[in-house]
Structure 1
Amino acid sequence: MIPINAQFFIPIGITDSTITTTQSNNQLVGKPFGGGTGYFPIIKPEESNIIITTNDFNSLKTVLANASYGDTIYVNDNLQIEIPLAGTLTIPDGVTLASGRGRNGSKGALIFSNNFLETDYLFNYPAISAGNDVQITGLRLRGPDSTSSSVNYGKQAVGIKQENKNNLEVHNCEIYNWYVYGIFLIESDNAIIHHNYIHNNQNPHIGYGICNRNKTNTIISYNIFNRNRHDIAGVKNTNMEPPSYTAQYNLIGPDAISHRFDMHGCGYTDLWGCPDMYAKDDAGPDNLAGGTINILNNYFIPMNYPKYHSVVIRGIPRDVANISGNYFPNDYMSEPDYPVRQTLMWGDPINSECKPIDSSYEWNLTPPFDSRNSTANGECVYNGILQVEPNHINFVDNIIGQPVYLRVINWDVQSSNQVLKVVGPEVRFTNQDISSFAYGDFNNDGRTDILYQDYVSWSGLTEWEVHTEYHSIDPNHIIDFNGDGIEDKLNIVYPNTIWP
């Protein structure tokens, strides 16, 4: 039997058409969010110049030090290389460090640190230091702490750092447990961070998955983020150019200890050498919260407790913050209708379309890390309004809350060769009767089949149980994947479009 009208749902805010028109030139589409199984291309050992076969840190460090521009160093998938205290792997210009995450079920080689540096406030000892034109792919990078139980500013741990270099690409990696920064970019231009699983980087007052400092221009795409204090952050020093980033087509998981995407203005802590921003008269023109910020077509999964805002801009962008085409949940800890907040806007009037509220913040200073309380008397919160002036926020075409409408893709069959083709789409309510979904015997062999397409990836936050075509339709269930008591639908990406 062949169903004439098999239907699959797509949230309206994330569309294949926008992905097609905005994809970058290195063809990021058609691959699973977060990398891993199904990702391509994965570098093979035989494609490398040198294969690392030992767990010895110094051996890998020496090989990297002697590598030439264009070399690929492959770390065997089963290796676990520990970085000693104050140890760093330095990747020279033009060198690729690779392993095989996602190939034949491999998790990729593990490079890890169990050590904190007590006074490394300048972060001179990251696990990996990247030069110009460096590629890092297919690896697991694990830091020393997966928790957020205590604040200790003497504990420093950074995964990947690039400073005053350009053209870093990090893809198909798992980056986790770094107490301060998973990836730290300082005046680094044209970094591309894509198809990584970045999680559990969660110092309670720092803890960033990706941090951009001073002049940067970073593209962050198709990653899965979860359990970071901020998944993405930006900050600038006094008299330095502000950072810029584009975060697009990322999947943001349900767990966090603070808001998810962030851009600081100068002055959030004296550690960065910024002026005192807590008194209105001291604000000055230096409170630029980023250069150009693009937050486009990301999917923020409804959060577990505690709940936080999705985006916070702590000042006024030099150019603009474009926040468009995202799906935001409607379940925040406070001000529940507002996924985006803008704070610390001294000296600028509050536009009538903004809702002014008072909010108390506590910030930590340089050692001995005393704290002070301050009130941000100027704050805007955004909920579906378009506003560019005076505060340089462009908030448009986002979905807030559970989708009211879903786009339905209808499939039909060409009778001559039984090929499925698109004959939709149309829009329907979310309360579509589940009976309208059907499995079918597409090839008339008497077995139940599941629709298959090229460039489709299946992914979840936990392991999937695979049922082959030998199973009857009865054992297949729609289940509660995230434990919220509500039955969920399977997420499919086509291409890089979420189909719940």
Structure 2
Amino acid sequence: MDRRTYLAITTSVFAAGCTTSDDGPSPGEDVVDPPEVTVATAEPSPIDSVDRLVEALADASVGDVVTVPPDVELDLTGLWELTVPQGVTLAGGRTDGEPGAVLRSPDGDRTPESDTFKRKLVLGQGARLTGFRLKGHFHEYVNAEEAHDGDYYAHRGGGGVTAKRNAVVDNNEISGWPYTAVFARGNAHVHHNYIHHNTWEGLGYGVAIPEGNHQPLIESNYFDYNRHSISGAGGADVGYVARFNVVGEQWVGSQFDMHGTEGMKGIAGERIVIKRNTFKATTAVEAKSRNPGGKYYAIDIRGTPTEGAWIERNWFYHEDRESAVRQPNRYENVHFEANHYGRDESTKKNVGAPQTRWNGNPFDAEP
């Protein structure tokens, strides 16, 4: 399948464009301080095997905490869409000094051929995933045009976790997934995670939001070496709020994206708020990318949002707005306020991500 056909039929998410207006604040409440990270309390019988994990989740009910000790590593080969039930917390013990339990998809672990986009975990409504290292096995960039004759579905490596309405994904390291680290539905809350090395060409998302009525909150994450750190599928109902995030220096493409319904035009979401984020690069990494050293936008909106996009108080390392933000209709329904451009730190207050969080990779972790 060639890239043109792939882009035309897929219902997931990709990258591009934006609109002009420098007036008017974004809708909703003013920016507040990032939430504190909390670690779930351990339960009496911690989990130390895949069988026990499956059994414990099957028996869990609203309010329960299923804990995997931080020194445990579980091989999830062949296990897809393991469900954390509604209102249940799955906790891996990650703290400032402890990287947390590992849930791993090793080499050779493949999704069913009929559904290459399956995720390892599914969080039911109001469920929570906290304190884990959730690792796939595709940490290196792959260009499917060259490596798989244009078959963008050849990876069979799936994604990390689906977060349904009211679900929370926090305080995790999620890496190595060819499709997406987090698939965010409804009003899912994705915060304080280290999301990196999700780079498969044509896919490779940190957080993917499907078409439909989905408006997740994505905040206080450290993103690095993703093809797109956030990508929305487009259409009249989808959107997101992205605030307090840092995007590191290793880029493979543009970073915060919303697709249009007609490729580089059409309806690009409903409401997009991108506020107080820091984008620490302007070009692709020199190796392991389709366009080594090529320039990329930080924000790419491939059409016109129905309600609007608000891009406020971000710090872009790009020289100006035109090099940082793209939209094919020259900023239609896109509003800018108090953004800062260039590598020198702004003298204004409350611009870019707060400096008290995510100044570097949490554990300088290797894939």
TM-score range, shorter chain: 0.7 to 0.9
Q: Note if 1:395 corresponds to 2:336.
A: yes
Q: Deviations over 1:354-409 (max 9, x none)?
A: xxxxxxxxxxxxxxxxxxxxxxxxx52xxxxxx6xxx211122111113375369x
Give the alignment's TM-score, normalised by structure 1.
0.58
Question: What is aligned with 1:132?
Answer: 125
Q: How does 1:83-232 map to 2 (within 5 A)?
A: 83-103=76-96, 105-114=97-106, 115-117=109-111, 119-121=113-115, 123=117, 125-151=118-144, 152-156=152-156, 157-162=158-163, 165-185=164-184, 188-214=185-211, 215-232=213-230
Classify 1:462/1:195 alpha carbon distance in 2 versus 1 (closer, same or farther; 3 Å): closer
Q: Partners of 1:138 and 1:228 in 2: how far apart?
A: 21
Letter in 1 for 2:72: L
Contact 2:236 2:268 in 1 (8 A): no
Classify 1:241/1:317 alpha carbon distance in 2 versus 1 (closer, same or farther; 3 Å): closer
Letter in 1 for 2:120: A
Contact 1:118 1:154 in 2 (8 A): no
Higher relative contact order (CA 8 A, sep 6+): 2
Question: What is aligned with 1:37?
Answer: none
Q: How does 1:62-461 map to 2 (within 5 A)?
A: 62-103=55-96, 105-114=97-106, 115-117=109-111, 119-121=113-115, 123=117, 125-151=118-144, 152-156=152-156, 157-162=158-163, 165-185=164-184, 188-214=185-211, 215-236=213-234, 241-268=236-263, 287-303=266-282, 305=285, 306=293, 307-330=295-318, 337-343=322-328, 379-380=329-330, 391-403=332-344, 406=347, 459-461=359-361
1:43 alignment partner, one of 33, 40, 45: 40
Q: Deviations over 1:178-197 (max 9, x none)?
A: 11110112xx3221111000
Contact 1:253 1:303 in 2 (8 A): no
Moved over 3 A (4+): 455-459, 461-464
Unaligned runs of 5+ in 1: 1-19, 32-39, 269-276, 278-282, 344-378, 381-386, 409-454, 465-500
Contact 1:49 1:72 in 2 (8 A): no
Give the alignment's TM-score, normalised by structure 2.
0.78
Task: Quote the sequence identity (%).
Answer: 30
Contact 1:217 1:244 in 2 (8 A): yes
Unaligned runs of 5+ in 2: 1-28, 145-151, 286-292, 350-354
Q: Partners of 1:259 and 1:457 in 2: how far apart?
A: 23
Q: Partners of 1:291 and 1:42 in 2: how far apart?
A: 34
Contact 1:297 1:326 in 2 (8 A): yes
Classify 1:259/1:394 alpha carbon distance in 2 versus 1 (closer, same or farther; 3 Å): same
Question: What is aligned with 2:34?
Answer: 28
Number of residue pairs matched by the alignment: 311
Classify 1:206/1:243 alpha carbon distance in 2 versus 1 (closer, same or farther; 3 Å): same
Contact 2:142 2:201 in 1 (8 A): yes
Classify 1:458/1:228 alpha carbon distance in 2 versus 1 (closer, same or farther; 3 Å): closer
- Quote how far apart the aligned CAs of 1:204 are: 1.1
